[in-house]
Amino acid sequence: MQKRKLGNSGLEVSALGLGCMGMSFSYGPPPDRNEMISVLRAAVERGITFFDTAEVYGPFTNEELVGEALSPIRDQVVIATKFGFRLKPDGAPGWLGLDSRPERIRQVAEASLKRLKIDVIDLFYQHRVDPEVPIEEVAGAVRELIQEGKVRHFGLSEAGVQTIRRAHAVQPVTAVQSEYSLWWRTPEQELLPALEELGIGFVPYSPLGKGFLTGKIDETTSFDSTDFRNLLPRFTPEARHANQAMVDLLGRIAERRYATPAQIALAWLLAQKPWIVPIPGTTKLSRLEENSGAVDIELTAADLRDIDIAASKIEVLGDRYPEELMKMTGR
């Protein structure tokens, strides 16, 4: 597995990370816990060193899973987790709102360290920007945790460019996480140029379009009632029918390169910038191996040009989130 550095921070991780959310949250009933521990450890055996979780996933259960799986091999991995939501009492699913007050950030850090069974959080993201708390206070709170040796690096998720700049001036931001893939290219407009200027790494989540870009989902696919894709405008049957054109494009390139659509989608992301580290999620060993294979696919300039020209003619239907959740992005 190739390695990459997240911006100018010096934080080196595998070129592909692993998003762990779906192992206990969001995509229907949680899979068997022991199987997920096996998948996490198999990822390390295959050279994946970068793992992404969050307090709100579950809540708590995803961090506990990651902690149990990876704490015995702590020296081989980089673990990222997140703060920023006000959770319901007694660990009930969902959240009540945003909360990035400095005292809350410290509380989350202490609790996450225990659940993850580690002494220091490698990368601590603000999960969503809290408009009630100045970003300078957030960055200052994380800076204190870094000075105390409880956190190594500061990150932001779904933040707007001006917020990133303000935070970075207080405590250097190592990585920004946002959705980015062939069917969500908005980060190319303002975010990627700003990150390049500031020397900040970029961690795209949902690089396979929440599974759609793998080619395994079509307009007839039915999701479990607890699968959050049921709530996404981009996953209505009508949108899936319209958006099939993007999967067909990936399929054509994949056939040419003796690869899979998922591998081409990931290879395309890796080709955009050397400081981009996608974190596809999976619960299956076979998919883990398939995704890992993307690192060895070098798309040519002609491949990239063909993809860009063809993709520019495809209009993707549907927002990526419902209106209320869209409001929480790009602040």
Q: Which residues are catalytic?
A: 57
Coil, strand, or helix at residue 117? coil
Torsion (CA) 104, 108, 106, 179 in degrees, nearest 10: -90
Helix axes 102-116, 61-70, angle to 10 degrees: 40
Cα–Cα dist 290/287, whole Å: 5
- Contact call for residues 39 and 238 (beta carbons, < 8 A): no
Instruction: State how far the alpha carbon of 87 is from the alpha carbons of 90, 138, 142, 239, 261, in Å.
Output: 9, 18, 20, 32, 37
Beta strands 78-83 and 3-5 are unpaired
Written as one string, the DSSP assignment of 34-61 is: HHHHHHHHHHHHTT--EEE--TTTTTTH
